[in-house]
Amino acid sequence: MIRFVFLFVSLILLTGVAQAQSASSATGQWTVNSASGESLTGRMNLNQQGQTVVGSWGGNGSLHGTINAENSHQVDAKWDGAKGNGWATLIFGADWKSFSGQWGYPGKKPTGSFVAQRFYQSYPPVTNLWSFSGTGGETFVNGNVKLQQQGTTVVGSYSNNSGQITGSFSQPGVNEMTGTWKDKRGSGWIDLSFSESSQKLGGAWGNKGSSTARGNIVASINTIVSPIVAGQWNVTLTGQDTHNVKFRFQQQGTSLIARWDKGQVTGTLPQGSYIMEGTWQTKKGSGPITMTFTPDGNDFSGFWGYPGKPSSGRVIGKRVAP
């Protein structure tokens, strides 16, 4: 007695590619629920051509119906499943976003009823700058990750573009992205689940060739607005000895150049970051330098050094004029 209920409302995953959804016809994907006490739910694919409506579910189930001559929102149909066949009546709402109906066996009264809502295939929009961190151990990246989405495909970059992420959403209506990461240290896999608001994510990562997770990942949208630091600065350099110099910062997007009478600093202040990484250069040499700015962009502190060696000293600055 409940063979068709099982087939019709469990519906499994439809076969084939989903047909285009229409706001004025039965064509589309539908999530069906039994209204007869059963808790089974499932998905059906319907396609309308003129007055004819055909449907499929679960690989074996099929439905064939026609629009009722007296009610353009009613479909009178026959169903055929792996364990039986019968009749069904589907009555669609005025906006074609839902339907309800009854089903039964040939020549018999209704055996059960159902309701359905149109299923919209969608994926969370994740294009943004994200702040990644690890929990429960190590992580393959800590810091800013820029994600760019094109349909179901997502690509990302981190660590000044030396790290790359490639992923995709494979199942409609599910906010889980699977993919790979690659940087100078190696490569591996990632599995990320995004929140409904697309503001947060969580997941795990591992190394290539191993299904065991190495660590966990949490992230949220980076809302930091990088400071504007252009202007004149009083700067103190410590280390071998102490120097007080005047920097003149020029800022173009994420690129910074600071000049003084004996040299210059060039670097990058990434979007959503307070930390500039760059290189100092004078007639006597060059080396790495980092500067961490305050959110208002009026102070910084950091370190300078020589290539391949520990930091040689501190660098401290205060802006004195725009």
**Which pLDDT does position 142 carry in this prediction?**
83
**Which own/partner pairs from 301-304 qualify as long-range (CB within 8 Å, at least 24 positions apart)?**
302/276, 304/237, 304/239, 304/280
Percent of the chain's residues with pLDDT above 90: 51
Dist CA 51 CA 214 (whole Å): 56
* CATH class for the region spanning 231-321: mainly beta
Q: Please check whether residue 211 is in contact with residue 119, taking contact to mean a CB–CB distance below 8 angstroms.
A: no
Every domain of the chain with CATH number 2.40.128.120 lies at 3-119
- Of residues 36 and 25, the one with the higher pLDDT is 25
Which of 155, 157, 213, 207 lies closest to 186 in space, CA to CA? 207
Architecture in CATH of 3-119: Beta Barrel (2.40)
Structure tokens at 53: 């409506």
Calculate the alpha carbon distances from 133 to 2, 97, 226, 241, 244 in Å: 50, 41, 19, 37, 37
Q: What is the pLDDT of residues 261-277, one digit of tens each?
A: 989 999 998 888 889 99
* Range list for CATH 2.40.160.90 in the chain: 231-321
270 vs 88, residue with greater confidence? 88
Split at pLDDT 50, 70, 90, the class of 22 is: very low
pTM, to two decimals: 0.49
pLDDT at 112 over 90: no
Exposure string for 5-29, b = 16+ CB within 10 A, e = fewer: bbbbbbbeebeeeebebeeebbbbb
CA–CA distances in Å: residue 312 to residues 239, 260, 269, 287, 316? 6, 20, 22, 10, 14
Share of the chain above pLDDT 70, in %: 87
pLDDT at 306 over 80: yes
Beta-sheet strands, E only, within 208-242: 215-221, 231-237
| Confidence tier at 242 by pLDDT (50, 70, 90) | confident
Confidence of residue 90 (pLDDT cuts 50, 70, 90): very high
CB–CB of 24/31 below 8 Å? no
User: Would you say domain 128-221 falls under CATH 2.40.128?
Assistant: yes
Q: Which pLDDT score is estimated for 37? A: 44
How much is the pLDDT for 10? Answer: 33
User: Across all residues in the chain, what is the average pLDDT?
Assistant: 84
Tokens of residue 77, six digits: 């149909």
